[in-house]
A and B are shown apart, each in its own frame.
Chain A
């Protein structure tokens, strides 16, 4: 049986751990509120953007002259997986879930004989992916200096990806992030961002009958050429915001559990401590009594 001193030390160490996890939980809760608000505030833009993209894409029939971002390269040999993770750990299964989704996709693609590359956003995805696919990480976008994700960051990532897309012979780009459903539920998501997947525009068009004639200024092609990279930035921006909210939600839940577990552990240790203390007292009493009887 552990000594009283050892138990006492143990209890105080668990207590200080509990203080840390509790503080982290509260910080995550506060950050979650902010991240969630940011994600919600950004929703109208991406919704409008998706609407416009759908109506435009429905009007243009993909041909050899149409932009590559829309129609693709005509191949699907080389895949780039953009994996968005966080910079900090201690967020439960948040990062490993995203990485697992990406890894499954990569293994799937490799089994079909495709080439897979990784583009990492955030620090925590690097270690597991580098272990499994050591030579396939093309770039890691550093987000450690960013406190609140801004549109400029998303734009920088999007530009970088578009550049690699046009120069490195990449055919398909997938985006991995965790969609925020609630503080308890975050779903890892895989989304194909290049070429743009035809949205549910076809369904809308057939339902609405003849769409009103829209004037374009300048013409459709030029608008589309400007819109496509922007749409990409918006998609990435949304993914980053969702990710930020998911990270905080996941951390909050994980830290809540940790705090509760620490509490349970403290209770158990305290009981053990008291028992040991009582046993020691009883032992002392027995010693005194038997000593007195011997006299």
Chain B
């Protein structure tokens, strides 16, 4: 299966733009996982952690984010977060 194109953007800069296996997004109405080919969704997010799975079964990378929203469209997943802590 093709990989999911994942972008994490904050007002200051574009933090991530890469192809991953799956991302779990902390939506306001519950976490949801996004795989490639996910139906289009737009959701606000609560403060929490994004879990980025690079490959199936791999240990997820966790990114703390604050406020914002996530959009899934045919191109992939875009997370617009107000703040994000990316470990260097």
Contacts and interface: CB of A to CB of B under 8 A. Distances in A.
Q: Do A and B come from one complex?
A: yes
Interface of A: 38, 41-42, 44-46, 48-49, 52, 56, 150-151, 154, 212-218, 222-223, 226-227, 230, 233-234, 237
A223 B43 CA distance: 7
Interface residues of B, number: 24
15 contacts: A41-B13, A41-B14, A42-B12, A44-B14, A45-B11, A52-B71, A212-B73, A213-B40, A214-B40, A216-B43, A217-B27, A217-B44, A222-B44, A223-B44, A227-B69
B12 to A, nearest CB: 6
Contacts of B85: none
B66 to A, nearest CB: 11
B80 interface: yes
Interface string B43-61: 1100000000000000000
Given A45-B14, A151-B82, A215-B42, 14 more contacts: A44-B14, A45-B10, A48-B71, A48-B80, A52-B69, A214-B40, A214-B41, A214-B42, A214-B73, A216-B41, A216-B42, A217-B29, A218-B28, A233-B11
Contact of B13 (A42, A217, A227): A42
B40 A234 contact: no
A213 B29 CA distance: 20
Most chain-B Cβ atoms within 10 A of its Cβ — which of A45, A213, A230, A234? A45
A237 B29 contact: no
Contacts of B78: 48
B74 interface: yes
A217 B9 contact: no
B40 A217 contact: no
Interface of B: 7, 9-14, 27-29, 39-44, 68-69, 71, 73-74, 78, 80, 82
A154 B82 CA distance: 12
Given A212-B73, A218-B28, A45 B44 contact: no
A17 B80 CA distance: 48
Contact of A45 (B9, B28, B39, B73): B9
A227 B29 CA distance: 16
A222 B28 CA distance: 11
B47 to A, nearest CB: 13
Contacts of A151: 10-12, 82
A160 B40 CA distance: 34
Nearest to B40: A214
A52 B82 contact: no
Given A45-B80, A52-B80, A212-B74, A217 B41 contact: yes
Most chain-A Cβ atoms within 10 A of its Cβ — which of B13, B41, B68? B13
A191 B58 CA distance: 47
Nearest to B9: A45
